[in-house]
Amino acid sequence: MERKELKEKIKKNENGITLIALVITIIVLLILAGVSIATLLGENGILSQANKAKVETRGATVEEECNLWKINKGMDSQTAQETAQTLEGLLDSLEERNLITAEERATIEETGDITIGSRTIEFGKEEPTVEHVQVGVKVTGGNKPYIDADGDKAIIPEGFIIVPGCEDVSKGLVISDNEGDTEEIGKPQIVEGNQFVWVPVENFDEFKREAGYQGGVQQTCTFVSDKLTDGKYYESEGNVKSTLCYGVQWDAVMRWMSDVDNPNVTNDDGSNKAYIQDSTGMGWYSNNSGSNVKNTGTDIENGKNKIKNIYDMSGNVYEWTMEASNTTYRVYRGGNFSINASNNPASNRVSYYPSTAYITIGFRLALYLKDSN
């Protein structure tokens, strides 16, 4: 009897130990499960880190494609071409490949940038597509930009063409209101319209009064009118307006022409004088005019009086400007056919009564472009 009771006690004890072991095992398994779940799903867990890595990889890919797009756009601006896709085209491609979401695209279109992971990617806002002017084709639909083969820029007004053969900005880009005008080499020259020359001016600070030259000694744009054939005055209609040339505009042209040497006269050191300092042989003066005024566009020995595609800034006739020297006098510039060149070069500044009308005094128009924005 005692033995039987002892066996039952031992059996009960074994069952109790088994239950305790089972409970401990369950607790350990629960702990391990919790650790495993935390490792997988926690803030720094494997799945979270994998998702972060996926987002960072997506961001890096989008950033790389954005940078390549910007490079292509920059090359287009330098070469006046349009080979790069538009911002819309780039976003279409990124969205189709699930590199950006529809919401992210909307953010880019609204703000110009997007943050993906740790990267803020700047796309910039899409600029309106600009139609560039072609040589010899009349501009329509407002004033339009033009870029020449060297990357130099100009704005061409509506209703004008760039005259073929005169499309280089640095050498004097010529525009005309007549579509038939041309100065292409090897073809008959046609000049039937009112022509103007683009004078590059980098900023408005360059529009300032500067001393000209007289007798080789320095005295204490804009568009510049060239070869006007019918005296047409462009009033404030359309996208342009013309007025009598201002003195600061004339000075801007002189600065632009300051790199032109005159091979006909030299300094004491043997170097050539500048055209704006002494215009001998490069304009119609008393020594070559026969004391007669010449039609604008009449060449001196294959165009020696045509400087950067502008005729007769020196010689032929003085030209009135809007500049005043005092309350009584107004300023005219250059020289005329009845006087000598060395004392009256292109930059020469003289003043007299504005009521004066004489065969030796004329004028030149400046063409203003209205802001098309």
130-157: average pLDDT: 87
Q: Are residues 67 and 202 in the same domain?
A: no
Quick one: pLDDT at residue 287? Answer: 92
If you compute the radius of gyration of the chain from its CA atoms, what whole number of angstroms results?
39
Quick one: pLDDT at residue 222? Answer: 41
In a domain, 20, yes or no: no
Q: Are residues 104 and 203 in the same domain?
A: no
Quick one: pLDDT at residue 12? Answer: 52
Residue 219 above 80 pLDDT?
no
Quick one: pLDDT at residue 80? Answer: 55
- Residues above pLDDT 70, as percent of the chain: 79
Number of compact structural domains in the chain:
2
Residue that terminates a domain, selected from 122, 152, 185: 122
- Given pLDDT bands bounded at 50, 70 and 90, which one contains residue 229? very low
In a domain, 39, yes or no: no
Residue 225 above 70 pLDDT?
no
Quick one: pLDDT at residue 227? Answer: 41
Tell me the whole-structure pTM to 2 decimals: 0.63
* N-term to C-term CA, the chain: 115
Average pLDDT, whole number, for the chain?
A: 81
> Residue 293: exposed, middle, or buried by beta-carbon count in 10 A (0-12, 13-18, 19+)?
middle
Using DSSP, state whether 115 is helix, strand or coil: strand
In a domain, 277, yes or no: yes
In a domain, 13, yes or no: no
In a domain, 294, yes or no: yes
Residue 217 above 90 pLDDT?
no
Residue that terminates a domain, selected from 122, 152, 177: 122
Q: Are residues 297 and 173 in the same domain?
A: yes
Residue 54 above 90 pLDDT?
no
Residue 36 above 50 pLDDT?
yes
Going from the C-alpha of 185 to that of each of 122, 182, 227, the distances in angstroms are 48, 9, 19
At which residue do the structure tokens 């040589």 appear?
A: 135
Q: Are residues 220 and 151 in the same domain?
A: yes
Q: Are residues 115 and 206 in the same domain?
A: no
Residue 324 above 90 pLDDT?
no
Q: Are residues 234 and 118 in the same domain?
A: no
Question: What is the spatial distance between Cα 166 and Cα 313, in angstroms, rounded to a whole number?
Answer: 18
Q: Are residues 150 and 93 in the same domain?
A: no
In a domain, 127, yes or no: no
Q: Are residues 94 and 154 in the same domain?
A: no
In a domain, 38, yes or no: no
Which has more confidence, 275 or 187?
Answer: 275
Q: Are residues 75 and 224 in the same domain?
A: no
Which has more confidence, 305 or 224?
Answer: 305
For 326, how many CA atoms within 13 A lie in the half-sphere containing its CB?
A: 6
- Given pLDDT bands bounded at 50, 70 and 90, which one contains residue 232? very low
Residue 108 above 60 pLDDT?
yes
Residue that terminates a domain, selected from 54, 87, 122: 122
Q: Are residues 148 and 272 in the same domain?
A: yes
Range of the domain at 112: 46-122
28-55: average pLDDT: 70
Q: Residue 370's CB: how many other CB atoms inside 10 A?
A: 14
Question: What is the spatial distance between Cα 120 and Cα 216, in angstroms, rounded to a whole number?
Answer: 61
Residue 14 above 80 pLDDT?
no
* Helices and strands in the chain: count of H runs, count of E runs: 6, 20
Q: Are residues 106 and 154 in the same domain?
A: no
Residue 360 above 90 pLDDT?
yes
In a domain, 262, yes or no: yes
Which has more confidence, 5 or 244?
Answer: 244
Q: Are residues 266 and 152 in the same domain?
A: yes
Which has more confidence, 23 or 326?
Answer: 326
Residue 289 above 80 pLDDT?
yes
- Given pLDDT bands bounded at 50, 70 and 90, which one contains residue 236? very low
Quick one: pLDDT at residue 353? Answer: 93
